[in-house]
Amino acid sequence: MLESANIFSSFGIDWKLFLAQVVNFLILVLVLRKFAYGPLIKLMRDRKTRIEEGLIYTEEAEKRLKDIEVEKLAVIKMAKNDAFFIVAEAEKNARKKKEEIVKQTIKKNEEIVADAKRLINEEKEKMAEVVYKNAEEFISLGVEKVLAGTTSLDRDKHLIEEAIKQLREINSK
């Protein structure tokens, strides 16, 4: 040991002081390890764990966001299909309503035409009655002038009825 002591003294180092500094350094390392390095390592591990968890949550959030985007597109597609269905249904209902309105209009027009024909026929019959009455009077006067009052009233009536009958036959043809 003496030789090692001589080596220390040749460099100007006191071996007792050096030994005390080594012991102090070891104590300092143990104290720092116990009170500074240990908690610092624990803090860094905890922080690393939280960062890793944050990255996992971020990946999950991105995955959820992609899933939501896919779901959103599916909902939009479904909404478009529903909208097309609703529009098609509305067009179908509109066509049915239009057909119903057209049928009702045609029916009303047919009723109007039938009423008009009925009124025309009624007027025609009234006019025919007037014509027949007028014809009866004219024929009666004509027969009276031709026969100059020599015939009886029954005979005149019979001749008038015959003339009206023939007139009706001509008009019906």
Quote the CA–CA distance of 33 and 41 in Å, as a whole number: 10
| pLDDT tens digit sequence for 17-30 | 889 999 999 999 99
Confidence bin at 157 (pLDDT 50/70/90): confident
The count of domains in the chain is 1
Quote the CA–CA distance of 4 and 21 in Å, as a whole number: 17
The count of C-alpha atoms lying within 13 angstroms of the C-alpha of 128, restricted to the half-sphere facing its C-beta, is 14
| pLDDT tens digit sequence for 44-99 | 999 999 999 999 999 999 999 999 999 999 999 999 999 999 999 999 999 999 99
Contact by Cβ (8 Å): 15, 4: yes
pTM > 0.85: yes or no: no
- Residue 124: pLDDT over 70: yes
Contact by Cβ (8 Å): 159, 143: yes
Q: Is 13 left (phi over 0), alpha (psi -120 to 50) or beta?
A: beta
Q: Which domain holds residue 89?
A: 2-172
